[in-house]
Amino acid sequence: MLTHVSISHLAIVEDAQVEFQRGFNVLTGETGAGKSILIGAISLLAGKKASSDSVRQGQSQAYVEGVVELSRDS
C-alpha cells in the first residue's frame, strides 16, 4: 500500500508531502492546487516515463519519492 509521496520541483509544486491512510483517500482542492500533478507523480512511481518538461521552472531536476508498506495483512 502506498503510504507516503514526496514531491519536489515537479511542475508548479515546489515541495509537497502527502500521507495516505488505509481505506479510501480523497484528493480535493481548488483549481490549480496540484491534484493532477500528484496523480502524475504517482504514475511516475508506477513506471510512467518522465519528461524533463515537468521540472519546475528555474530548477535543474525534480524528485518524486514514494513509500510503500508491504505486510502480510495488506
Residue type, 42: I
pTM for this one?
Answer: 0.88
- Is 19 part of any domain? yes
The answer to whether position 73 is within a domain reads no
Domain limits at 9?
2-68
CATH number of the domain within which 61 lies:
3.40.50.300
The yes-or-no verdict on residue 73 having pLDDT over 80 is no
Q: Please tell me the predicted confidence (pLDDT) of residue 42.
A: 98
Average pLDDT of the chain is 95
Q: How confident is the model over 46-63, as pLDDT tens digits? A: 999 999 999 999 999 999
The pLDDT-based confidence of 72 (bands split at 50, 70, 90) is confident
